[in-house]
Amino acid sequence: MSLHSDLQGGVLRLTLDRPEKSNAFDDLVISSLTEAFLLAAADPAVRVVVLQASGKYFSAGGDLAWMQRMAGYSDAENLADAKALARLMQAIDLCPKPVLARVQGSAFAGAVGLIACCDIAISVPSAQFAITEVRLGLIPAVISPYVVRAIGVRNARRWSLTAERFSAEQAKAMGLVHEVVEESRLDEVIQKQIDALLMAAPSALAEAKSLLAFVDQPLSVRVIDETAARIARQRASAEGREGVGAFLEKRTPAWRSES
């Protein structure tokens, strides 16, 4: 299996497991990962998703053998294949559950897109990053909306055009990753993020993600009105009433474990 799935205590860990291929993804990995995220989105037992990898690399991006096969596809087949990768990025981005990227190694090309689609990304200092497509005569097309949103157009122009490698600290400065921690502390910091997320109400997390996606556009009367409508709905929801009531009554809300 090139993708392992493990659900414990509300935390779903999805592990890219092709270390012999630097965790590069092909059509089978893309299909499996997309399905996993869609299932996670619909499963109330899943509270948090951690996207991680085994071995030295987080992911080298697209598998070269897969890309070579694509070159021989018909136009229709090639487009369908590209749309499959686009659906994966969208499935991660739109997942109503918080998604953490555990970046234990370097990430190149499409893998930078995977990280950009996650809500929170934690990296080790030794990880390097690069948007390498132009060196293969390609373009970082389906990942570009997410990468641009994460690091900004100006940074995306430089790194997409030069295909240079950049460090974990540079990735943090640009916003691709949120924290850079020593490898010995990686799981500790990931767990701290998980614990924080598990303290929140599940539907509130989903609504907050939906809200942030919606407001990522020019400010307008429509945006302002919609944000008001969304908080009004959330306040009146069962979780909203429970959360405020628990705070006022100085008790633990129903969704949070007492332990």
d(CA 209, CA 221): 20
- Asked if residue 247 has pLDDT above 90, the reply is no
Kind plus residue range of the DSSP H or E element containing 102 = strand 99-103
Residue 80 pLDDT grade (very low, low, confident, very high; cuts 50, 70, 90): confident
Answer for the pair 52, 15: CB distance below 8 angstroms, yes or no.
yes
DSSP single-letter state for residue 97: S
Smallest Cα–Cα separation from 89: which of 46, 28, 152, 34?
34
Per-residue pLDDT tens digits for 50-64 = 999 999 999 999 888
- Asked if residue 259 has pLDDT above 60, the reply is no
Per-residue pLDDT tens digits for 107-131 = 999 999 999 999 999 999 999 999 9
pLDDT at position 240 is: 86
Hey, how many other C-beta atoms are within 10 angstroms of the C-beta on 9?
11
Smallest Cα–Cα separation from 199: which of 249, 253, 134?
253
CATH fold of the domain at 3-197:
2-enoyl-CoA Hydratase; Chain A, domain 1 (3.90.226)
| Mean pLDDT score of the chain | 92
pLDDT at position 229 is: 83
Where are the domains positioned within the chain?
Answer: 3-197, 201-248
249: tokens are: 């009554």
Answer for the pair 59, 88: CB distance below 8 angstroms, yes or no.
no
Alpha helix positions (H), the chain: 27-42, 64-71, 75-93, 110-117, 144-151, 153-162, 168-174, 186-198, 202-214, 221-236, 238-248
Length of the chain in residues, anyone? 259
Which are the contacts of 17, defined by CB distance < 8 A and separation ≥ 6?
1, 2, 3, 4, 23, 53, 54, 55
Q: What is the pTM of this model?
A: 0.91
pLDDT at position 218 is: 82
